[in-house]
Structure 1
């Protein structure tokens, strides 16, 4: 029986990406270098994908050594055994002989950077066992180093968390190492300074995240994210109320043509298929609480799709949402991205000024996107695929905003069935 959280719905199925890789191995490696840059909303593991232009003279494990030079042959064989490598979309063996036209897909990060410093960053731990830890990430927290920033990240906080655990043992191990590994976290991902990181959330997106503590569960969890066999549901406060109250946004996404920080709905060869399901859960005067379910995972997917609907996320300045304070509660503003079926993104200078003006006020609730990863459903990688669902309570700023909006209810249709998030648990 399939997991309960994968039941069928009468909605359009997601289409596979139509990326075309170069015929030669060298060209494929160049394409793969671009693929390793995160193009996911909540982040699926990075992977290398290449197509052989001619028959390989060596077996799969030896062929992979030419592409993953920092891994030993034994490590590569273990990776293959754990399902981290597929040939033409199917599981393979280390001895598999590769032929011209075969497509090899490998979940693998690049080389490490530096040692992590444990930092006493507050962590809201929802669950922890020997395989993984689940946290409710706060706004403003980067998941792993970016652009050389090695401090103030979730990994620094986890390093401190495990250091505190280790201090209760007679012999305290060194928590962080020069190769980027951290005691207590999976060694997978150290090559990209993100040990144990299975998926990602944007800096200002709050909510549930799972981080692997050992290699085998890491690979198995990563495959669930890669294959989209898990469940991810978000809650967002948006301007206005989508009509109808439930449906699907299926629009391709690519980099914005003029604004470097943004993505956009585009219908050209650079775009990738993206599908988001939405459900209005509560209605307020000028606003609504919407549940989102990701069927693909493009960068900023939820934010772009809601902006395209004409209902941008409150506080999402980049994609045409507006900061919200007391005066906006009773007099809801017309958001910049109010026109449906149009792509919108604010220029950086304009967005910076709007944010600065909002922060100068003392009545502001949200200047960052009111977007929360409320629920994550997985199959436990080490317990015979036992189903587990984690719900992360909404953090204080967004929670206060929702409490204020609930004092201003509005009539109209909402989704009353087929949703995932228990609001009593997400808003205790």
Structure 2
């Protein structure tokens, strides 16, 4: 199996730095990752000679780091499932997740999951890594989901999220006719008292800032297709915000929706935009509505729902 390896050549502007600073500041290797390389079986070489992070780099030095092998979480069961791969390179995997499949299995439950399918794919293709979800989707939400093939790219994307360099767009079919053509829902979200699953809009001190921008795509008699863009990424954010606005997602029985022709929340991650932190390439990936949502939209268009 191939190990996760990076190699760089030191440039004149980087000459004279401690290797630790070169890796941390120039190559954005996290402090934790450097500790794992030191203590968990990784290796750092300069010009094919193993060194410590106290080495002083010089122009032309070839720096190579080998990350230690990552252990797969014991509750992730490798499972052969078809993957709808939208984008892949040595660092990233972007999938179109089907509904009804959890991103990560619940601890202690031996269930099929997207994580298990990805681990099986890694094993088949010699990728020595565990599952690093960069964004997550609820079990019954479909659409674009980004996965890091190693911890370094995951660390970089966590920083990209903070800098708002990853943008997600969703489509949802909601109950009722949304009258505002566009707007912003800015309402903090916290756990609902007495529940370990549900979230709610709250003014309590433990509420986290949550901002969702929406735009009406189509109105029907009794339903609306809306496009949503997230500024934050709280658990169940879109579902909670739309319910709070009085327009729960069709099929989302947890937050007030009814199963009108669909037995899951009619929510789909349709567009993913990001700047690749290792290549600086801008990617805009799209996936149309899945068949169950497409059929539901057609019913509402024809006043048959």
Whether TM-score is above 0.5 comes out as yes
* Partners of 2:250 and 2:303 in 1: CA distance: 16
Q: 2:301 aligns with which of 394, 406, 421?
A: 406
* Partners of 1:303 and 1:251 in 2: CA distance: 13
* Partners of 1:266 and 1:377 in 2: CA distance: 30
- Evaluate the alpha carbon distance shift between residue 378 and residue 396 of structure 1 in structure 2; reply closer, same or farther with a 3 A threshold: same
2:172 is the counterpart of 1:236 = yes
Preserved contact between residue 77 and residue 112 of structure 2 (Cα < 8 Å): no
Q: Look up the match of 1:268.
A: 204
Q: Look up the match of 1:89.
A: none
Alignment of 1:321-400 (within 5 A): 321-324=257-260, 365-383=261-279, 385-400=280-295
Compare 284-293 and 237-246 and name the one that shifted more. 237-246
Partner SS, residue 134 of structure 2: coil
1:148: how far off? Answer: 2.2
Q: 1:313 aligns with which of 249, 253, 264?
A: 249
Alignment of 1:173-192 (within 5 A): 183-184=126-127, 187=129, 190=130
Alignment of 1:84-95 (within 5 A): none
> What whole-Å deviation, never above 9, does each CA across 1:56-81 have from its counterpart, x for those lacking one?
xxx999xx98x999835478x99xxx
Q: Look up the match of 2:16.
A: none
- Evaluate the alpha carbon distance shift between residue 70 and residue 201 of structure 1 in structure 2; reply closer, same or farther with a 3 A threshold: farther
1:275: how far off? Answer: 0.6
1:380: how far off? Answer: 1.5
Unaligned runs of 5+ in 2: 1-19, 25-29, 44-52, 55-70
Larger strand percent: 2
Alignment of 1:95-174 (within 5 A): 113-114=73-74, 116-164=76-124, 166=125
1:217: how far off? Answer: 2.7
1:159: how far off? Answer: 2.8
* Partners of 1:134 and 1:150 in 2: CA distance: 24
* Partners of 2:237 and 2:274 in 1: CA distance: 21
* Partners of 1:306 and 1:115 in 2: CA distance: 33
Partner SS, residue 71 of structure 1: helix
- Evaluate the alpha carbon distance shift between residue 300 and residue 393 of structure 1 in structure 2; reply closer, same or farther with a 3 A threshold: same
Partner SS, residue 254 of structure 1: strand
Q: Look up the match of 1:11.
A: none
Unaligned runs of 5+ in 1: 1-58, 79-93, 96-110, 167-182, 325-364, 410-428
- Evaluate the alpha carbon distance shift between residue 300 and residue 117 of structure 1 in structure 2; reply closer, same or farther with a 3 A threshold: closer
2:143 is the counterpart of 1:207 = yes
- Evaluate the alpha carbon distance shift between residue 260 and residue 212 of structure 1 in structure 2; reply closer, same or farther with a 3 A threshold: closer
What is the alpha-carbon root mean square deviation over aligned residues? Answer: 3.1
2:36 is the counterpart of 1:71 = yes
* Partners of 1:144 and 1:70 in 2: CA distance: 27
1:406: how far off? Answer: 2.0
Q: Look up the match of 1:288.
A: 224
2:254 is the counterpart of 1:254 = no
> What whole-Å deviation, never above 9, does each CA across 1:216-257 have from its counterpart, x for those lacking one?
333222321243321111000001122212000101110112
- Evaluate the alpha carbon distance shift between residue 256 and residue 280 of structure 1 in structure 2; reply closer, same or farther with a 3 A threshold: same
* Partners of 1:115 and 1:277 in 2: CA distance: 36
